[in-house]
Amino acid sequence: MNILQSLMTRYLILILFALVLIPLIPAIYYSPILFDKELYNPEEIEEIWKQEAAELDGHKEEVIHHRLQSIKKKYPKAEIFWINGRGDSRFIGNQSSVIPANWTFIDSLVFMEESKFHVDTFLQNKDPQKIYTITALIGNDPRQGVMVFQVPITDTNLGSISLYEDFPFMIFFISISGAFLLISWFFFFNIRKRLVKLQMAMSKTGDEGIPDKVRIRKVDEIGRLEGAFNKMINQLKSSREREKEEENLRKQLIANISHDLRTPLTVMRQHVYSVKKFQGSSVEIESLQIVENKLDDMDKMINNLLSYNLLSAGKHPIDMRDTDILDEVRKVIAEWYPIFEQLSFEIDIDLPEKSLIWKVDPIWFKSILDNLLQNVIRHARTGRYIGIKLVEQNGSTVIVIKDKGAGLENESEDKGAGIGLSIVSLMVKEMNLEWEISTSTEGISHYLSMKS
């Protein structure tokens, strides 16, 4: 990044400009070039005046008068006159009413003494009417005469600058300071505007849930931040596209595998059925029953796999309507009762003879119960217990499905990929139900209820 494009460099230039400009304001204000306000330098005039007085030694009055006229042209604001050896006043320009036409030697000495200027006295009194006077003896000889140069103190650079007494200067100072403050305000306002715009871009998401990129206008610190933000957006979009591609591949793979597995399962089931028709030993029949049960398990797992694939893609049909939940639970228990009884489970059902209406999809709700009960058979078979009850908790009616297995902390021999519980989680969320799990070494309890 170019150092001149840096915000820090611009800010330092702004501060440096202020540090240099403020002390120069008086010099700018009193500059004769900008404001046509010429201020005389007393030291320079006094040196020139004495030099001229020395060079006019022995010259005639016409020469003296001509030289003083040339000085008057150079200093038009000054009042210039001289007194010849006879005490007569000779004015350059208009005659002043306060200057006598004739002088005695004593008058000249008194005038020269009274006209001495003391800068300290002026700065203390601050008298704007004070006249700065320079006197010099022609040829350093009082008999040849005296040259006098007078100018108001306000036309010299000896006057003190006061914000209170010099109103034009005060206005000028405030204007320059105000301009600097305005420039500073615009500088920081522009920074704040760009930061707020970037903040809004970060908080506003597009169609894909990702913010849109911002336009980089300047290559400075904020511009680099905007560039990093755009780079992050590109990475997020690339990651999202990869996720979509992987998700599509996974769904296609699951669909293909499920389809390919169904054909051999169907053939195997047919052969098991054919073999069972022939009378064999009890061991053979038991083995065939085990094979058939495993085939049923595989069929259910394939169905779960397809259901999960459809649910995660949002393509599983759902029909939400008012449903008697207790009636649905009784139907599912009736289907599973022989299985639990065959496995010697203690079956504890405690459901009241009444209706409990929830707005759900009956098929989805049955699938939830089937997966939870299947989970009990696969992972809590050692507990030999299944309990289904209806309880009241925190003002809500809750269906509790409890087993006495080893809990989620202990792995079972039949542990799978957890697709069944994943299906339950997705369906519960879509039907606006609440599902909580309580687990310990004494078993697992599932709590199903409507969201309040």
Highest mean pLDDT among 66-70, 112-116, 213-217, 415-419: 66-70
Q: Which of 3-17, 48-62, 424-438 has the lowest mean pLDDT?
A: 3-17
Predicted local distance difference test score (pLDDT) of residue 427: 86
Let me know the angle formed at the C-alpha of 33 by 30 and 37, rounded to the nearest 5 degrees.
45
Strands 321-324 and 443-450: what pairing?
A: unpaired
- Residue 267's pLDDT band, with cuts at 50, 70 and 90, is low
- pTM value surpassing 0.75: no
State how far the Cα of 423 lies from the Cα of 50, in Å rounded to an integer.
112
Beta carbons within 8 Å of 87's beta carbon, 6+ residues apart: 102, 103, 104, 105, 107, 108
For the segment 109-125, the average pLDDT, to the nearest whole number, is 57
Whether 57 and 140 have beta carbons less than 8 Å apart is answered as yes
Instruction: For residue 351, give the amino acid letter.
Output: L
Highest mean pLDDT among 89-93, 291-295, 300-304: 89-93
Predicted local distance difference test score (pLDDT) of residue 285: 67
- For 62-101, the DSSP string reads HHHHHHHHHHHHH-TTSEEEEEETTSBEEEESSPPTTS-S
User: In which order are the strands placed within the sheet that holds 89-92?
Assistant: 89-92, 79-84, 145-152, 131-137
Predicted local distance difference test score (pLDDT) of residue 123: 43
* 443 pLDDT above the threshold of 60: yes
Predicted local distance difference test score (pLDDT) of residue 391: 92
Number of alpha carbons in the 13 Å side-chain half-sphere of residue 161: 15
Q: Which of 63-72, 162-171, 265-274, 286-295 has the lowest mean pLDDT?
A: 162-171
> What is the chain's mean pLDDT, rounded?
78
Tokens at 247, concatenated: 């998700």
